[in-house]
Amino acid sequence: MSTPIPGDVLPLWNPDIPGEEIQTGRLGIRVRPGTPAAAKVTALEAHGGAELLRQVLQEQKLIDGTYNVIKPEKPLEFIGQVSSTLITGKLGRTPMGLALEISDWQELEGAYEMEKNRLRLGYQELHIVKEWDGDLEGFTAIVLREQAKAHTLLDSTMRFIEHLRDYREKLAEAAVRRYEATEQWIECPKCETEVPTSNGIHCPNCGEDMRGGEYVRAILHLADDADGRIYRGIDSLTVRSAGFPEYRGMSLDRIQGSNLWVSFRRYDPLPDEGIVLPTASVEMFEAQRSVIRQLQIGSPRTGALAAELADPGWLGTPPQVPLDGKKAHHLPDPNTEQAEAVARVMGMRPGQLYLIQGPPGTGKTTAIVESIRRILGRNPNASILMSSHSNDAVDTGQERLLSRARCPAGCGRRWSRATTSSRTTSSRAPATA
């Protein structure tokens, strides 16, 4: 198990490029002797030479380029563009930090076409180095990415995912039943009153046109009085009926005899009759398989995850930072364990993962909500994704954060949530967050 050293950065995937991104405070640059770049620097001595090159690069503070891995342990072969100048060299690390060794540059007449292995190098300060204080080395993250490709856990996980998918599909096929919708209610989009769909399209309470609503509840009676317990443990159902679109992702709220209480977000009611079956949710399994495949081929998209998989201790444990600032009056004060978890979350570096584990009721959601509140307090423009296996767990965290509108200004408008397509009636958060 290794620990990071200066310049041993973790390139992070940025979908906006799309490609990887490295941000550093200080970047060392050196013109490699005996190269075309060295000859050009000599020719420019009267105008400042290497210092002139540094000033040009310092002004931009950003190099967009591509890289090639010759060997995982060697520096990256790097080609970068700064304005209309194309730079060729090697990107690596020395004991003093991140380093770029330039072997050539040339002026471009047009834009340089970057195909794959995109890398955006951002820096705040440049300094010229005549001689490296050691050999120019490669990045541990690239080595770990290569090691992770052959990790035995990937094959076993892929087999497990495929087994779960096959099981879910067989379960769905075996639980197809005909139904009749005996009762249905639609939620008014204005006053949120639930009104039977048989009462017409206008809310009797406020007169609003309920066709603009998005929340429907229904009771489905299984044909031939079939036992509804076949769906016990299923949290998402699909309804099909000839001449109607497929209704997927309905939440199964209650089972009583042959009756199923379901709810879903849809502006129109269910067909009066059709078939009901568990939602196979194969999309989730496809997404999981895609991640495993990317790890197996060493894709930059999963570079941070690969580094954690190959060496969980490489990035180290997040340090505890002092928890300054105002307390949230509408939230409970974190206890000692929760405060430590929040302090370490606030001390995380890019690419680090932090696990908060414990049984229900131990305060994981409290620690998560407090961490989000403090992150937004430190950076109001931060983008945070809260996800869970159920909508209820996300709703609980969201409600606590937005309670009494005490979160940082504007966070309610920026709040986004991502859950699976299913809903559950359980109010418990997962044991691991």
Q: For residues 344 and 73, give the distance between their C-alpha atoms in angstroms, rounded to a whole number.
A: 31
| pLDDT interval class at 281 (50, 70, 90) | low
Residue scoring higher pLDDT (399 or 215):
399
User: For residue 11, which of 19, 3, 22 has the smallest C-alpha distance?
Assistant: 22
User: For residue 16, which of 390, 409, 383 has the smallest C-alpha distance?
Assistant: 383
Q: For residues 153 and 163, give the distance between their C-alpha atoms in angstroms, rounded to a whole number.
A: 15
The two structure tokens encoding residue 303: 């570079």
Q: For residues 232 and 242, give the distance between their C-alpha atoms in angstroms, rounded to a whole number.
A: 26
Main-chain phi, psi angles of 188, to 5 degrees: -65, 130
Alpha carbon 138 to chain centroid, angstroms:
27
The predicted-structure confidence for 121-158, as pLDDT tens digits, reads as follows: 999 999 888 887 678 899 999 999 999 999 999 999 99
The predicted-structure confidence for 302-357, as pLDDT tens digits, reads as follows: 998 999 899 988 888 888 888 876 666 555 677 888 888 999 999 988 778 888 88
Domains of the chain: 12-148 (no CATH), 155-282 (2.40.30), 317-433 (no CATH)
Q: For residues 346 and 44, give the distance between their C-alpha atoms in angstroms, rounded to a whole number.
A: 47
* E strand intervals along 200-349: 216-222, 236-240, 247-256, 259-264, 273-278
Lowest mean pLDDT among 144-158, 250-264, 393-407, 408-422: 408-422
Q: The whole model's pTM is what?
A: 0.68
Average model confidence (pLDDT) for the chain?
83
The predicted-structure confidence for 168-210, as pLDDT tens digits, reads as follows: 788 778 889 999 999 888 877 788 788 887 767 788 888 888 7
Return the number of other C-beta atoms located less than 10 Å from residue 243's C-beta. Answer: 6
